[in-house]
Amino acid sequence: MKAWWSLVGIRIRRAATADVAEIREVAQRTWAFAYQELIPADVQTSLVSRWYSDDARERRMERGILLVAESAPGQAIVGFINTFRNPGRPGEVALAAIYVLPDHEGHGIGTALLCRALAGMPDALRVVAQVEKGNTVGLNFYRARGFDPVREMDDEVADGIVLRTVEVVRSLPRA
Ligand SMILES: CC(C)(COP(=O)(O)OP(=O)(O)OC[C@H]1O[C@@H](n2cnc3c(N)ncnc32)[C@H](O)[C@@H]1OP(=O)(O)O)[C@@H](O)C(=O)NCCC(=O)NCCS
């Protein structure tokens, strides 16, 4: 059970262009922790620099919602979330990334980011995400927040590195 004050001071806001380096740093540090058994360190570094390049960040901000959580207003970024509407699938939102720094895990920041991102898409009917099978914390998070696993697939993240990925879905009942 989380204490209600664990989120006091945390501010969630839309990402700005100037945040790109800090977002990349959060991704790098979180990957190093979450994927230490799954993805070799050098592959992590090259994937993070590609996926969190300036161009990729532009696309994330233009095509979807990119929110960051600050430890206090104007202070360091400790987590972020990125969602998109899935083209060709009306009502479906893809949760492309959600990361919270390891030393801030378990305080409700991931849940707060998810709630804020979904609040910005009031017509969404379901959210779809993918999580690596060995990522226990990630799978716990999705289960605890109402997502159900629907299928598994292989995902070749780099040459010769194939991860087993679980697709999880959560319906969003609307009044
Ligand atoms: C998944 C992640 C975003 C959750 O963020 P968070 O701020 O820790 O999440 P919350 O504090 O809101 O916790 C929500 C649920 O996640 C699970 N959880 C969070 N931290 C956990 C931990 N260290 N160990 C086990 N489960 C954990 C719990 O089930 C928790 O539910 P509860 O509050 O009912 O106990 C964060 O742990 C993370 O960045 N992990 C690495 C990257 C990742 O797995 N991303 C998602 C898949 S790509």
How far is Cα 45 from Cα 22, in angstroms, rounded to an integer? Answer: 15
> Does residue 3 fall inside a structural domain?
no
**Using an 8 Å Cβ cutoff, are 108 and 141 in contact?**
no
pLDDT, mean of residues 42-66? 84
> Does residue 2 fall inside a structural domain?
no
> Does residue 151 fall inside a structural domain?
yes
For residue 50, what are the domain limits?
8-171
128: β partners: 94, 169
Protein residue whose Cα sits closest to atom 37 of ligand 1: 105
pLDDT level of residue 61 (50, 70, 90 thresholds) = confident
Site to substitute for ligand 1 among 137, 145, 147, most atoms within 8 A of C-beta: 137
> Does residue 118 fall inside a structural domain?
yes
**Using an 8 Å Cβ cutoff, are 40 and 161 in contact?**
yes
What pLDDT does residue 4 have?
A: 64
> Does residue 53 fall inside a structural domain?
yes
| Three-state secondary structure string covering 15-71 | CCHHHHHHHHHHHHHHHHHHCCCCCCHHHHHHHHHHHCCHHHHHHHHHHEEEEEEEC
Domain count, the chain: 1
> Does residue 165 fall inside a structural domain?
yes
CATH number at residue 109: 3.40.630.30
pLDDT, mean of residues 40-66? 85
> Does residue 114 fall inside a structural domain?
yes
- The rounded percent of the chain whose pLDDT value lies above 70 is 96
Q: How much distance in Å is there from the Cα of 41 to the middle of ligand 1? A: 22
> Does residue 128 fall inside a structural domain?
yes
pLDDT, mean of residues 163-172? 96
